[in-house]
Structure 1
Amino acid sequence: MPSCFAQPISFYLFFLVLLLFAPPPSVSNISLSVHNVTLYGEASFGDHSIILTQNLSHCAPFSSRSHSPASSGISRAFYAYPVRFLDPSSNSSASFFCRFSFAILRNPSCPFGDGLAFLITSDTDSFSPVDGYLGLPAPAFGSHESSFVAVEMDTSFDPSFGDINGNHIGIDVNSVYSQASVDAVSRGVDLRSGKQITTWIEYRNAVKLIRVWISYSHIRPASPALVAQIDLSKHFKESMHVGFSASNGKGSAVHIVSHWRFRTFGLLPASISDNDNVREGECSTCLTEDSIIDMDGSESDRQDAGTNTRDMALGLGGLAAFLVSLILILSVASYYLIKNSGQRKMRTEAAPRFQLNKVPTRLSLAEIRAATMGFSKSKIIGEGASATVYQGCLPSGGAVAVKRFDRENRVMNCRCPFTTEFATMVGCLRHKNLVQLQGWCCEGNELLLIYEYMPNGSLDTFLHKSSKSAKFLSWEQRNKVVLGVASALAYLHEECERQIIHRDVKSCNIMLDSEFNAKLGDFGLAEVYEHSCRTRAVTIPAGTMGYLAPEYVYYGVPTTKSDVYSFGVVVLEVATGRLPVDRGGVILVDWVWALWEKGKLISSVDRRLRGQFNEAEMARMLRVGLCCVQADPEKRPTMKEAARILKGEDPVPRLPPRKPTVSIRSVLPEQSKEILTNGGDQSPGFDDLPYMTPKSHFG
């Protein structure tokens, strides 16, 4: 047997024997125990979860309840050991990240309970002196001996405490009056549904920003449900306790928590200044759960006083890992014993580990620097508001496009383009008309995404280059481009597992491969929603003027129909060869509508085509473009309908004889209107963030 296989076989057999004769994993690795979680009140351990409250057999009158935590439906669960949040010697405070799943199961014969809260407190024994109120600590009622921060999932409506409704998320600091809150239903999640809901909470001390994501899925949404600029460091003490609190108050419900992880990071030793802490400015995607170390609270972990990280996990992890590892090791050992040297080539350290068109791979900064010649200016092939794109060549010989995100943008803008684009693309969106993500790098203070290389660049360079020697697209190529973009958007809107609104459809974000197939890219502004979500978040209108739907600019609510409008502008741009807004200020949409009104629509066609096009197909393309840019979003087709019309499979809808006047009306459902006035993304400091597109006014 060749020597190259001797070491792997002995290695795997060693671990096989070790596992076969080793004792099974301890109980503390399999599920929660009293050794690492302390329970208060009615709380108990369930099936790999914490059951915070119990259903009442009957709903007792509120006045008949005593003020003890056990009898008032107040329950808590805390990690048994304090977590370090403040370093007095360096005057630095920790940032933190938390993920957990929960479900609230109601007793049908009673009103809902108060809800539950993720809680960070300096005093685990401080309860509210009255019934309910999620069991928050005494500072909520006037005592200032302790301090707490809570993110509440409130299912009880009490106007006296400033609640916006009985189904909201709120951020509380030393008070039951939330400093920011948002209607949960408007973010696509019903806290009262009884379904398991996953929540992600992140606080970045460098920018004093707390963000909360919420979803029925275990995949974190691209956009947070709640953003608030609050300096939590003023409320942190050196050691705090982390856990959950729930109460039933006048109602009855079972509050269940599972799959809990918590992590602190960013504490500085006394010798390091704030300016040296480069990790504080990074976007949250770099700290994905893959990099978190699960800790079961063993004695050796607790004795490490110098650590800045303390992670907790709930669930059937240890036993499953043991069984899976055993099976995998047996399989690998068998494989190597059966195979001989002639059936497999020896791998060397120099062999490339990166292959194109595979699942995105994490690359080192050294690999990317080598591929781009140290981010040489000669390798720049594109520049945008938030990133610079370099052409690179990997050791495997594959050409790639490296998107390097601007350092200042990631700190100034709470909606980090890298985070949004990575979260959207890393789910392996696979469609022939989408630019494919090949890898990423998050190292030091660099944030990089690696895409497949498009040799023909972007669509706008073919449409708007002034050079006489510049190539221009033939009619056949233009038709193929439009159909490709329509197919990509139809996929994002209707065929993805989650609906994706691109928000920045324009010609410079449409790339062309060697055969002039169109591929839509740049998902830095994308919004991701569950298909069941019927509401849309109010955002800062972002994109490029000339492509933005009027109702989106006015209300800041992205919809699939705002993407359709942008697509319509691209269609007109491709057919006419004109800019969306030319150097003289002429708006392409208005110009084409004027020709339609005069019955001269076909005269808008790009003169460089010199009449070499199918007139019927060109007329159809122009009319589809006008259908997509109608002022009323309800009259615009869906992307799937637009694609069918472009192919001639469906007739073109009738257009009005004149351009309709712009009439802005709310696209928010009634239950979402409080977003405009209560919390949501309109948190303190939100108006100070960069406005990413010129403000416009509509009559």
Structure 2
Amino acid sequence: MPQYIQFIFLLTSIFTSTSSSPSSSPKNLTLIGSAHFANNSIILTQEITACSSRSYSLNGRILHSYPIRFFNSSSNATVSFSTRFTFKITPPPPPCIPGDGIAFLIASDPNSLPHSSGYMGLPDSPISDPFFAIELDTSFNPGLGDINDNHLGLDVNSIVSVASIDLTSQGVYLKSGKRITVWIEYRDPEKIIRVWIGYMDSKPEHSVLSLPIDISKILREFMYVGFSASNGRGSSIHSIEKIQFHTFESLTPNLQMETRSSRSCLICYPEDPVVEDYEITLYHDHHKDNRVLELAFGLLFLTGFLIIISSLIIVYCICLNKRRTLRQRFRDHPQMYRFQETEIPKKIKLADIRSATKGFDQNRIIGQGASSIVYEAYLPSCGNVAVKRFCKVNQSISLGNQFATELATMVGCLRHKNLVQLHGWCSEGNELVLVYEYMSNGSLDKILHKRSNNRPLTFEKRLNILLGISSALVYLHEECERQIIHRDVKTCNIMLDADFNAKLGDFGLAEVYERSARKRDATLPAGTMGYLAPEYVFSGVPTVKTDVYSFGVVVLEVASGQRPVNEDGVVVTDWMWDLWEKKILIAGADPKLMGRYDKVDMERMLMAGLICVHPNHQVRPTMKEAGRMLRGGMVPELPIRKPMVMIQSVMPERSSEMVARFGDDESETPWSTPRTHFSRSS
């Protein structure tokens, strides 16, 4: 019984079926590097007009967003697969030379593929992660064993092909600019791979390549499927118009592996009916004629699904209405709901706080900032606590009860395992005090940068800390009832409990302080220099992406052990961009770790930090995406060097639009990111 997974893209209908925007893309397709949608095709590489003085472009890749199962560990069986795709290579006019070509690719780890241009985007040296490719090579490189500049090759874990076919003798010219279709079939029971190629839509009678080979040895349980192309030193337009892919389990000898099917397609061929979404289907050939039965089961499943969804929506609405009713009853009759008092921060008398801190004894100080001092104390109603005493309050700002009440209402009702819990507050006279839960290991800043630290944090603990803070920020940005932007994410505000689990503090403080102000002469950013996003420095307007930038600085600080700005004035973000440009990013790892980490995991952490501190806020990920990267997900392609961002005037009569500008010339830049020790123009 064949099981197949199929994803089909007909780019003629992309803009009508998904969106009218030219940048729209199917949700199961990931575009990397220079790949983009244009002219009803996937353009992997763009033609470079000034080829004589061009700078090398990035590779272009498309990958199915989710890995596909190639090996079933329970049955110890490898699947067979087949694919069909249509492509076109448009060469440049003389004197420019053509690019490298296109390759069909199956890879275990997309992050292991090279970032530099050349070799169709395939590794030019052996790597630990296996890959399989069918290359359509338009570049003649004798050092790699190429037979000419118009051949088809089969690659296994190396750019040097194990078999090559001269396509000129087959009447196929890859650089003709014509549409060419390729069929690839691998039958695991027979351990043989076959390839057909031609200008027609129908598969030729004879294959151009039939090779006995056992590729099950390099196929892992899950692999990524896609295409890769590059121009190298040349300049061609490499485009793909149609793609189909199937896998088969328990393949029978007589089963035809023709990949043209109307079932389970994401965007179908013109002659195939359109199915609205991607699916995985099990089917028998003898069921093809029994369409009525299939339709009946489909309608039955759809009806059941709609009933379940409707029931969930009704239950949700009932629970939401009940929650609102209970809140209103609590406001009207608080004496009837005393059980909720433990969940709401209490107002504590200043006399009790003075007694618990021994009159704010200096020996009880466990932390000190620009605007507050933190004391360790014990309150009978709360146990061990951290008492945050603010400095003398500016009388032009109406803090007092207004500030404390609003903070207690907003912050105190938030519940998350990675947020420092607010137990109580006090506002008497000029004194403003907040009482938090006590964190025995103090702040991450002190642990990370302790000079006499003989036992530094392990890589595993650092990763767990970052995952905890990312989870807390996802909660503040997306999951709590009212969105909260932290504005001051830094290691000083990250507290550690006895097991080194991280909790984020001071959330919502800047927002409530700003709203409590009676009037403000200017918009000033709240936060700490070194952690502030460039657009926030210039505009003073916080967004979730400014929190993402600060989190990215924390990631780089935790991974490298370096402060955001060290004593020599070196900025950690610029230092990391410089290492990335030199292709030695791993050199940024904290030397205190003494190499006790997985290099792939460490490099992924550093790359995740860099994408979070991208100068262009539109390129930065969300906190949920950043957390997914740290857990082992794919990191988007990074530019080869730190981009520069032009920021226009933020005066009220002008637009605050930001335009990403990649380049080195800053002579005409009216507003740009602050120059630092590692800025190219400095």
Higher alpha-carbon Rg: 2
TM normalised by structure 1 equals 0.43
TM normalised by structure 2 equals 0.44
**Structure showing greater relative contact order (alpha-carbon pairs closer than 8 Å, 6 or more residues apart):** 1
